[in-house]
């Protein structure tokens, strides 16, 4: 087993948004986050036509805001920066709503609730956390033995009882708990490393 190269770049994580001229990276961003934004709009009560228009406007403003914000890893976590950008993008959209024409009525009133910007930031933050966890899992997986990972996977991820996992893998229950603890600690450290330092 070997540790992945630290230069490995996951296009769905930190490196994706740093190069504003990378059209493929931005296309991936829209592909990844667009459905999440639209789903959020629908959950907030927007009609289909409005949800499509609003999500497109939010994504447009996100990209515009990202061109003016500068991410400094030494000053905080990437997701904190992303959250700030999201909130500003929402406020931009609300401030400009009177000049935005929509085919469906009621969008203007729906947009007027600026508190929804915080809700949207929460949704995108959750999406980012999931991407971060997936990358951490991919990196940690190659660091541990197969039986250790299997014990963690079955007990922690699949929620199977430790006794059942122990029987299936010919391990003691203690071994199952130890494997689960070891992998969760590795995941925690890797996630913190990927995420960057806490805000100062």
For the record, the structure tokens of 93 come out as 């959209």
Where along the chain do its domains lie?
1-130, 144-200
pLDDT digits (tens, 9 = 90+) for 96-108: 665 444 444 455 5
Q: Is the pLDDT of residue 148 over 90?
A: yes
CA distance 10 to 140: 14
- Percent of residues, the chain, with pLDDT higher than 70: 69
CA distance 156 to 122: 25
Residue, of 1 and 144, whose pLDDT is higher: 144
CA distance 75 to 54: 31
For residue 69, give the 3-state DSSP assignment.
coil
For residue 178, give the 3-state DSSP assignment.
helix
**Where residue 109 falls among pLDDT bands split at 50, 70, 90?**
low
Measured N-to-C along each axis, helices 23-43 and 48-68 cross at an angle, to the nearest 10 degrees, of 140
Q: Can you give the pTM of this predicted structure?
A: 0.63
pLDDT digits (tens, 9 = 90+) for 163-187: 999 999 999 999 999 999 999 999 9
Q: Residues 140-147: what's their mean pLDDT?
A: 95
How many residues belong to the chain? 200
Residue 143 is classified by DSSP as: T
Residue 74 is classified by DSSP as: G
Q: Are 194 and 188 in contact (CB under 8 A)?
A: no
């Amino acid at each position: 087993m070997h540790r992945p190269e630290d230069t490995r770049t996951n296009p769905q994580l930190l490196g994706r948004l740093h190069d504003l001229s990378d059209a493929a990276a931005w296309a991936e961003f829209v592909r990844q986050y667009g459905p999440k934004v639209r789903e959020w709009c629908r959950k907030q009560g927007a009609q289909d036509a409005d949800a499509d228009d609003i999500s497109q406007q939010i994504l447009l403003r996100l990209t515009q805001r990202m061109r003016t914000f500068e991410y400094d890893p030494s000053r905080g976590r990437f997701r904190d920066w992303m959250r700030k950008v999201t909130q500003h993008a929402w406020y931009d959209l609300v401030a400009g709503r009177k000049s935005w024409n929509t085919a469906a009525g009621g969008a203007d009133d729906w947009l007027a609730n600026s508190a929804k910007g915080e809700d949207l930031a929460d949704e995108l933050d959750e999406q980012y956390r999931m991407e971060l966890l997936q990358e951490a899992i991919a990196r940690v997986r190659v660091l541990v033995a197969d039986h250790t990972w299997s014990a963690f996977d079955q007990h922690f991820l699949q929620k199977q009882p430790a006794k059942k996992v122990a029987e299936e893998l010919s391990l003691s229950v203690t071994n199952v708990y130890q494997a689960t603890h070891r992998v969760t600690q590795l995941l925690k450290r890797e996630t913190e490393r990927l995420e960057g330092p806490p805000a100062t």
